[in-house]
Chain A
């Protein structure tokens, strides 16, 4: 019984280019070439012998040494390359992969489309990354607007309080001309209306910072886990600076540290505080992170051995919307963002000089209430 003859058109119909390696390092085209070869390597179908695919597909310079070990080593052995992209003269991109196999003593090289449909792969990756970028951009924009809004509302409330106080003094000190008192009372009532509007805006703002749903120990963000992830992410920078994070938890056994809050914002708060400590910690020192369970609340402190905050600046640290000259982005908003977020969750935040000689930033957040 004779073996069936495989038609020369089989491989091109599968979009596979089949090449056989020769001892001198060149290749011979077996069968017919698929259509895509005419777009990317038009000389090959005519030349057929003495081909050097690595000169056209530069990626193969990287793959062929590996392929040759397979051809030299084993019967029926094979290896598949990573994917790579070629661009034809029209600018169209073609995603390819190579497979080297040793079959019946012949060294074969298959050039083909990847097993995973490239269009699907690209679409999934493209969409996920575009969504990630959009999410990042929106998050940044929302943060910026929230901080600006909060600053604006604060800026409005201060002069209103001052005007109200002045009008009251006018009345109390009987400095209003006879008959003028009703006009001052109108002014006071209008100011009170404005102050009520400001209060409503502030309530709305802090309401946004509050977790949307009731948190339990299972659904609340885990402060210890967030710290672990952050310190891992900052390890390269810390290593470059020769600074080490030391995390102390009391009690020290591994456990969850759930707090009231929302995980993304909590991560931003932690990032601001940790990055700050890392920035000012001198080389060769530790940044000490301490978690203390206080019963109904958890207290986190971050201490560094830098120069600390000058006494005259401590009071303004969390209050003012300050941006240093020549600095870009959100520099100066970090601690302000930390304060309004932590306070929005019913917590407190503060600063104290550290026993290490530098700064100690701390915050305290309530633990989630037990489930009913």
Chain B
């Protein structure tokens, strides 16, 4: 069976672990528990009639206390950049991580997920930023790990690109 490694990249507390938990186990916890190092989950999916094992590498979030080791990215077929829609500085952080990921991996498929869509009252990310990124060919999805909004779609879209790229 084909295996594809996918890395989750983003600032701390943007919801990377929650997105994986929602996608793989269909669960969500309000409790924030910081990830140390990396946590790996596996999910089998069927893409265009073929079964694929997705290895989801949930990397620790980046902040001034903990950097993201780019060595974790080795062998990654694609990645999901994750930002928190209620903290606009996490979009900038995602853009910086994207530059580092491209240096490490070259051009591989990726998506930007702006998470926490359920917190509409606290939303900070300007829709024009999203429009700008989309105009440049980025796929940007507004997700919610809590409600599951567009979570399956995000992983499925990336998986499809991994198969066809």
**Interface, chain A (partner B; CB < 8 A):** 58-59, 62, 82-87, 93, 95, 97, 118, 121-122, 124-126, 128-130, 132-133, 136, 140, 233-234, 236-237, 240-241, 279, 327-331
Contacts and interface: CB of A to CB of B under 8 A. Distances in A.
24 contacts: A59-B40, A62-B75, A82-B37, A82-B72, A84-B39, A84-B40, A95-B36, A121-B36, A122-B36, A125-B34, A126-B33, A129-B12, A129-B13, A129-B61, A133-B13, A133-B32, A140-B124, A233-B92, A237-B95, A240-B133, A279-B126, A329-B123, A329-B124, A331-B126
Interface stretch (B43-51, B62-70, B103-111, B149-157): B62-70
Contact of A85 (B37, B89, B126): B37
A58 B3 CA distance: 12
Given A236-B99, A328-B123, A58 B92 contact: no
A59 B136 contact: no
Given A82-B69, A128-B65, A236-B95, A327 B37 contact: no
B110 to A, nearest CB: 14
A130 B95 CA distance: 23
Contacts of B12: 129, 132
B161 interface: no
B38 A85 contact: yes
Interface string B58-96: 000101011001011011000000000001010010011
Contact of A132 (B37, B55, B63): B63
Given A93-B39, A241-B132, 5 more contacts: A97-B37, A121-B36, A122-B36, A129-B61, A328-B123
A355 to B, nearest CB: 25
B136 A240 contact: yes
A82 B120 contact: no
Contacts of A84: 37-40
B63 A240 contact: no
Contact of B37 (A95, A129, A233): A95
B5 to A, nearest CB: 8
Interface residues of B, number: 41
B129 interface: yes
Nearest to A242: B136
B55 A136 contact: no
B50 to A, nearest CB: 21
Contacts of B72: 62, 82
B60 to A, nearest CB: 8
B36 A237 contact: no
B128 A279 contact: yes
B86 to A, nearest CB: 9
B92 A237 contact: yes
Interface string B12-41: 110000000000000000001111111110
B38 A122 contact: no
A61 to B, nearest CB: 8
A278 to B, nearest CB: 10
Contacts of A241: 132
A329 to B, nearest CB: 5
Contacts of B32: 126, 129-130, 133
A83 B36 contact: yes
B92 A236 contact: yes
Given A84-B37, A241-B132, A236 B96 contact: yes
Contacts of A237: 92, 95, 129, 132
Contacts of B95: 236-237, 240
Nearest to B12: A129
B32 to A, nearest CB: 7
B117 to A, nearest CB: 11
Contacts of A132: 12, 63
A126 B37 contact: no
A234 B92 contact: yes
A221 B142 CA distance: 37
Nearest to B37: A83
Contact of B39 (A87, A129, A130, A329): A87
B36 A59 contact: no
The 6 A-B pairs of least Cβ separation, nearest first, read A83-B37, A236-B95, A328-B123, A85-B39, A58-B40, A329-B124
A62 B76 CA distance: 10
Contacts of B61: 129
B87 A136 contact: yes
Interface centre among B34, B35, B61 (most CB of A within 10 A): B34
B34 A122 contact: yes
Contacts of A124: 65
